[in-house]
């Protein structure tokens, strides 16, 4: 009998398995397809590789302004995806090495009882036993009414990264994180991009000032964005996809593209894994309900990662995996689950931690909003691809001056946001951030600058001291 059986080899699953093995436990890991799950194979890793290529092309073009002329030939759309697939394979092989001390089963898993898991493999059906079980089955891409994935013309993010070459034109349904990341990168590589978003603005989960800057850059890259609109019909004829876009006002238009990419959300992988056999409870939205220690309502069964609900992020999955493994190993104290930093790898990048300005106002929390522009950051003047419209924004608790939220839009936001996450987690104040000495010239200086500004003592921006 295993000490633990982990179902799913994505970010939550493989981390939980590795953590348990490090404690000396006998662990089985069941994965039906590829180690690394969504993030490694069709999400975080391939999309960031694509974004890096787009950024590199942009830098090469910007070098001309600095006196270095680099000849740029035609974009080889097939080689780009070949390179991305090699990146994915390297990442997947790294994970395979990490789980070398774990018994890996390749197949479909389902719960037979509280201590038994059925594994359906090519070789046949097998039942394995475990004292504890961790469910980390993740999510699947969601379709939209009337438009189904076909893997050739109408694509999920998974289908997209299985293509032979980058399409010359694409309509992206959904102006959320996946939509704006891929749309931005593809447009910079020369793809004609359309984005259709049902709501009033893109990435609407964040503050309007974030949406407006990303919208500005998307338009600068040539992306055509249709807000308050939906895709009602998709037809394929002679290898061309015709999609009908209908606005909230009832106006419609047809666009012809090579591919349609659906990026409207995810559905939880809780069907067909035997939850009903043991009585594991799920939320009405489909995800598995867990407590602060990742326990389900069934004593020895845990869940971690996307299958436990939003936010659907790999680093959230990592933390939940560590908690589940540590609890199984007998830990009384577990690390905190918040704040969870969120990043959008557009140009410019976006980083968010803690509460947003919009959410603070909706909750009627007394806050001070402090905002400092990238235009006042010397380091941003030295780079080839500036983001002068960007900003750093602190959401500060009014009475204590404690940092409870932070937003960064601009270069290096994906790295800088962790300083604000640390400030939130450790309950730091404006004064605490202002007392750090920041190297010059760096983007990190902004953190000190915005803290001084919030205290009424601005340094590199005009303003009267208070």
Active-site residue set: 440
Classify residue 370 as left (phi > 0), alpha (psi -120 to 50) or beta: beta
- Number of helices followed by number of strands (H, E) in the chain: 14, 22
Rg of the chain over all Cα atoms, to the nearest angstrom = 24
Residues 168, 169, 173: CA angle, nearest 5 degrees: 145
Tokens of 140: 């699947």
Residue (of 108, 116, 127) closest to 31 by Cα position: 108
What are the b/e assignments for 240-253, b being 16+ CB within 10 Å? ebebebbeeeeeee
8 A C-beta contact, residue 174 and residue 260 = no
* SS3 state of residue 24: coil
How far is it, in rounded angstroms, from Cα 196 to Cα 101? 46
- Backbone region of residue 198 per phi and psi (left: phi > 0; alpha: psi in -120 to 50; beta: other values): alpha
User: Which of 219, 179, 181 lies closest to 199 in space, CA to CA?
Assistant: 179
Name residue, tokens 């400092």: 372
């Amino acid at each position: 009998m295993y000490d633990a059986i982990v179902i799913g080899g994505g970010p939550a699953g493989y981390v939980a398995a590795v953590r348990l093995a490090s404690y000396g436990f006998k662990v089985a890991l069941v994965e039906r397809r590829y180690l690394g799950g969504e993030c490694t194979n069709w999400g975080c890793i391939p999309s960031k590789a694509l974004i890096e290529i787009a950024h590199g092309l942009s830098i090469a073009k910007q070098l001309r302004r600095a006196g270095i002329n680099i000849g740029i030939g035609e974009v080889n759309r097939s080689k780009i995806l070949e390179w991305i697939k090699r990146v994915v394979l390297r990442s997947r092989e790294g994970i395979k090495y990490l789980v070398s001390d774990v018994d890996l089963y390749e197949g479909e898993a389902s719960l037979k009882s509280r201590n038994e898991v059925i594994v359906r493999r090519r070789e046949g059906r097998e039942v394995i036993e475990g004292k504890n079980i961790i469910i980390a089955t993740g999510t699947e891409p969601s379709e939209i009414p009337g438009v189904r994935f076909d893997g050739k013309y109408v694509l999920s993010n998974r289908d997209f990264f299985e293509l032979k070459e980058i399409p010359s034109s694409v309509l992206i349904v959904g102006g959320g994180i996946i939509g704006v990341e891929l749309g931005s990168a593809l447009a910079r590589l020369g793809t004609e991009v359309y984005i259709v978003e049902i709501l009033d603005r893109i990435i609407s989960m964040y503050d309007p000032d974030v949406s407006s800057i990303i919208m500005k850059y998307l338009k600068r890259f040539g992306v055509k964005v249709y807000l308050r609109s939906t895709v009602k019909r998709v037809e394929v004829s002679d290898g061309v996809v015709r999609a009908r876009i209908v606005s909230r006002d009832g106006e419609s238009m047809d666009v012809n593209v090579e591919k349609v990419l659906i990026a409207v959300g995810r559905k939880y992988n809780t069907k067909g894994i035997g939850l009903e056999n043991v009585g594991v409870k799920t939320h009405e939205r489909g995800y598995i309900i867990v407590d602060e220690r990742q326990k389900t309502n069934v004593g020895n069964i845990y869940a971690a990662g996307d299958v436990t609900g939003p936010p659907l992020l790999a680093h959230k999955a990592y933390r939940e995996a560590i908690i589940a493994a540590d609890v199984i190993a007998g830990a009384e104290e577990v690390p905190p689950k918040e704040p969870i930093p969120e990043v959008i790898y557009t140009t410019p990048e976006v980083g968010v931690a803690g509460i947003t300005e919009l959410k603070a106002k909706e909750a009627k929390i007394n806050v001070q909003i402090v905002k400092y522009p990238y235009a006042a950051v010397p380091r941003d003047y030295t780079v080839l691809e500036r983001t002068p419209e960007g900003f750093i924004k602190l959401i500060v608790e009014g009475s204590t001056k404690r940092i409870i939220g932070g937003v960064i839009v601009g270069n290096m936001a994906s790295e800088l946001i962790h300083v604000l996450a640390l400030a939130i987690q450790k309950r730091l104040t404006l004064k605490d951030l202002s007392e750090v000495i920041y190297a010059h010239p760096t983007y990190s200086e902004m953190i000190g600058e915005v803290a001084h500004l919030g205290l009424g003592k601005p340094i590199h921006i005009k303003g009267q001291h208070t």
